[in-house]
Amino acid sequence: MSLYVQITDFAGLEEVPKDKYTNPVLQTYINRFEVLYLQHLLGASLYGEFATDFAITGTAPTAQRFIDIWGAFSEDDNCLLVISDGIKAMLVKFIYFEYLRDQNTQKNIGGITKNEQANSQSASFASTSIITIYNQAVDTYTAIQWFINQDLTVYPLFNGILKKYTIG
């Protein structure tokens, strides 16, 4: 069961095909990566506090320190504009990346095979938006960590890890 992201959240630029065959696979990716990315973002201890607070409503955090990073924000830092799309949007982008990068291959009893269509060819990652969307998620990830680092007395358990951009 998803804690933060639902299958219906994959819409717009992060649209993925949804049907009775793809939904269970997408749900597996959501279950695998939503908590992992939050643990990377916040560190295990701060994530534990975030998850406990989020569980109160099941739809959004209740403590102000978590509300501040859950939603979208923009801040000026000298000559730098720091923009976050919010945690949920960030998670959708990261999960979209993880899901789509594996769709070029299938795992079955014959081993790992490459998908081929009769009237099409697989596109390279460089010719799709998958890298751009991943990097947009890293932008938000970095903005949230920047925000947390502005006042570590509010987030004393912060121990997140850095994420890097990818070029393909």
User: pLDDT tens digit string along 52-87?
Assistant: 999 999 999 999 999 999 999 999 988 889 999 999
pLDDT > 90? residue 11: yes
Q: pLDDT for 104-121, tens place per residue?
A: 655 555 554 555 555 545
pLDDT > 90: percent of the chain = 76
Q: Is residue 133 part of a domain?
A: yes
Q: Is residue 83 part of a domain?
A: yes
Q: Which domain holds residue 75?
A: 7-107+122-149
The model's pTM is 0.87
pLDDT score for 95: 97
pLDDT score for 122: 52
Contact 160, 41 (CB under 8 A): yes
Q: Is residue 116 part of a domain?
A: no
Contact 104, 125 (CB under 8 A): no
Q: Is residue 117 part of a domain?
A: no
pLDDT score for 167: 83
Q: Is residue 57 part of a domain?
A: yes
Tokens of 111: 């081993």
Q: Is residue 161 part of a domain?
A: no
Residue 54 CB neighbours (<10 A):
21
Strands (DSSP E) contained in 18-152 are 73-77, 80-84, 105-108, 111-114
Give the dihedral sign, CA 50/53/55/60. negative
Q: Is residue 2 part of a domain?
A: no
Q: Is residue 36 part of a domain?
A: yes
Tokens of 42: 């916040």
Instruction: Please give the tally of structural domains in the chain.
Output: 1
